[in-house]
Structure 1
Amino acid sequence: MSPDKSAEQMSVAELAAYIDHSVLKPEFTVEDVGREVGNGVRYGCRTVCINPTAIEIAAPLCEGTSTGLCVVVDFPFGLSSTPSRLAQTRDVLTAGVAEVDIVANYGWLRSGRADRVEQDLRTVAEVCHEAGAEVKVILETDALTVDEVRAGAEAAIAAGADFIKTSTGFFTGTTQHEQTGASEDMIAIMLDAAAGRCKVKGSGSIRDRAHFLRLIDAGIDRMGIGYRSTPVVLGVDHDTAPAGAGY
Structure 2
Amino acid sequence: MSAASAELTPQDLAGYIDHTLLKPEASEADILRLCSEAVQHRFKAVCVNPVWVKTAVKALRGSGVLTCAVAGFPLGATPTDVKVFEARGATLDGADEVDMVINIAAARANDRGALVEDIQAVAEAVHGSSSILKVIIETSLLTDEQKVLACESAVEAGADFVKTSTGFNGGGATAEDVALMRAAVGPVIGVKASGGVRTADDARAMIAAGATRIGASSGVAIVTGGSGAAGY
TM-score (norm 1): 0.86
Are 1:233 and 2:222 an aligned pair? yes
| Cα displacement string for residues 58-109 of structure 1 (whole angstroms, at most 9, x for unaligned residues) | 1111100021101101110111111111111111111232111000011111
| Cα displacement string for residues 117-154 of structure 1 (whole angstroms, at most 9, x for unaligned residues) | 10111011112112111100000000000000001111
Structure 1 stretch 8-17 or stretch 117-126: which is displaced more? 8-17
Of 209, 215, 239, which residue of structure 1 is paired with 2:206?
215
Are 1:78 and 2:69 an aligned pair? no
8 Å CA contact retained: 1:208, 1:233: yes
Q: How does 1:57-206 map to 2 (within 5 A)?
A: 57-172=55-170, 180-206=171-197
8 Å CA contact retained: 2:72, 2:78: yes
Flag structure 2 segments of 5+ consecutive residues without an equivalent.
228-232
| Cα displacement string for residues 4-28 of structure 1 (whole angstroms, at most 9, x for unaligned residues) | x823433443221100001111111
Change in CA separation of 1:12 and 1:210 when aligned onto 2, cut-off 3 Å: closer
Matched residues in 2 for 1:75 and 1:27: separation? 15
How many residue pairs get aligned? The number is: 226
TM-fit CA distance, 1:35: 1.4
Matched residues in 1 for 2:103 and 2:81: separation? 14
Are 1:26 and 2:24 an aligned pair? yes
Structure 1 stretch 42-51 or stretch 109-118: which is displaced more? 109-118
Matched residues in 1 for 2:137 and 2:226: separation? 33
Q: Between Structure 1 and Structure 2, whose CA radius of gyration is higher?
A: 1
Compare relative contact order (CA 8 Å, sep 6+) and give the higher one, 1 or 2: 1
8 Å CA contact retained: 1:23, 1:37: no
TM-fit CA distance, 1:157: 0.8
Give runs of ≥4 in structure 1 deviating > 3 Å: 7-13
State the secondary structure of the residue aligned to 1:6. Answer: helix
Matched residues in 1 for 2:94 and 2:9: separation? 29
Matched residues in 2 for 1:81 and 1:219: separation? 31
Q: What is the match of residue 36 of structure 1?
A: 34
Matched residues in 2 for 1:213 and 1:91: separation? 34
TM-fit CA distance, 1:237: 6.5
| Cα displacement string for residues 166-198 of structure 1 (whole angstroms, at most 9, x for unaligned residues) | 0000004xxxxxxx3111111111111111121
Percent of residue pairs identical: 33
8 Å CA contact retained: 1:37, 1:58: yes
